Structure 1
Amino acid sequence: MSGTGKSSALAELGRRGYRVVDTDDPGWREYREDVQSADEVRRGEWLWVEERMTKLLDSDVGRSLFVQGCVRNQSKFYDRFDAVVLLSAPADVILDRIARRTTNSYGKTPVERAMILDDLARVEPLLRESCTHELDAGRPLDEVVADLIA
């Protein structure tokens, strides 16, 4: 879910020495678009590059690994993770963060904001059902990171 602080939490975990992978980075995911769809909000979807994700998860280096992302096919990998954590926050918090952030341009257009709100309504409940933990990401970053490490 965009704007919940996944990238910020991951960056802080990396700063603290944890092994991290941000699947929003190039090469980890691909966009599949239905170009014939007239619905701009639901025209396409992001998917993890399965071969690359499998290779990452097969490379056990004996250190904790934190992976962040939200894509359509992530549930294919859930059995490979010790925990699947949903960071959630109210829509107003998410939209405010997206409006203020400077490290990611996603969510700045009206269509992208509509997509984010659509994801909150349709996707977040599915994530909530399938996660092993849910954290209130409206709290300060240090508190969220402490809970992720715990």
Structure 2
Amino acid sequence: MGVRNYLIEGVSCTGKTTVCNELQRSGYHAIHGDRELAYQGDPESGTRTDTASHENHIWHVDKVKTLVDNQDEPVTFFCGGSRNFSKFIDLFDGVFVLEVDMETLNRRLDERPENEFGGKKTERELIARLHQTKEDIPKNGIIIDAAAPIEHVVDAIVRQCKVNKR
């Protein structure tokens, strides 16, 4: 939906939803990928599955392509996690990876209700492992310290977009 499109990724509880909300509040076009594009499916084939799991949390590739092709906005941010990002990451002008320290991650996990991902003990253990291994986030993204106040996080992202535009 933008002339320039950016993916904002990160492990659970790094602030993707909060960043998306703040970008929207600041007047930017931002898409909540986990709400608007996500479903449970096979990361390779895209085939829907009844298995609700972290590994099957994927985005509709065709929807991502359609949104990227629409150039009604000067910039669009796609915020959220997807296990099939390799299928569409090349469509983006840049990728930002939100990172937090373990103390911040644990504090945020403690604040999660049990009915949200990360609220259960087994999910917390998975998130902690993924935080350490970084195995399911883009490798070549621009790292953003998401432990900072939200205004600073969004400013850092917007500033990097302007630098990369030149």
Q: With structure 2 as the length reference, what TM-score do the two structures score?
A: 0.74
Query: Shift in Å at residue 74 of structure 1?
Result: 0.8
Q: Which aligned pairs between 1:1-150 and structure 2 lie closer than 5 A?
A: 1-25=11-35, 27-32=36-41, 44-101=55-112, 105-122=116-133, 124=134, 127=137, 129-131=139-141, 133-150=142-159
1:31 and 1:91, CA in 2 relative to 1: closer, same or farther beyond 3 A?
Answer: farther
Matched letter for residue 65 of structure 2: T
Q: With structure 1 as the length reference, what TM-score do the two structures score?
A: 0.81
Query: Shift in Å at residue 73 of structure 1?
Result: 1.2
Q: How many residue pairs get matched?
A: 138
* Residues 53-105 of structure 1: per-residue CA shift (max 9 Å, x gap): 11111111132101111212112222211110000011221121122256x82
- Distance (Å, rounded) in 2 between the aligned partners of 1:118 and 1:134: 18
Deviating above 3 A after TM superposition, structure 1's stretches of 4 or more consecutive aligned residues are 125-128
SS in 1 for 2:78: strand
Note if contact 1:18-1:63 (Cα within 8 Å) is conserved in structure 2. no
How much is the aligned-residue C-alpha RMSD, in angstroms? Answer: 2.2
Matched letter for residue 148 of structure 2: R
Structure in which a larger fraction of residues adopt strand: 2
5+ long unaligned stretches in structure 1: 34-41
Matched letter for residue 38 of structure 2: R
- Distance (Å, rounded) in 2 between the aligned partners of 1:87 and 1:65: 17
5+ long unaligned stretches in structure 2: 1-10, 43-52, 160-166
1:107 and 1:126, CA in 2 relative to 1: closer, same or farther beyond 3 A?
Answer: closer
1:9 and 1:106, CA in 2 relative to 1: closer, same or farther beyond 3 A?
Answer: same
- The percent of aligned pairs where both chains have the same amino acid is 27
- Distance (Å, rounded) in 1 between the aligned partners of 2:71 and 2:102: 37
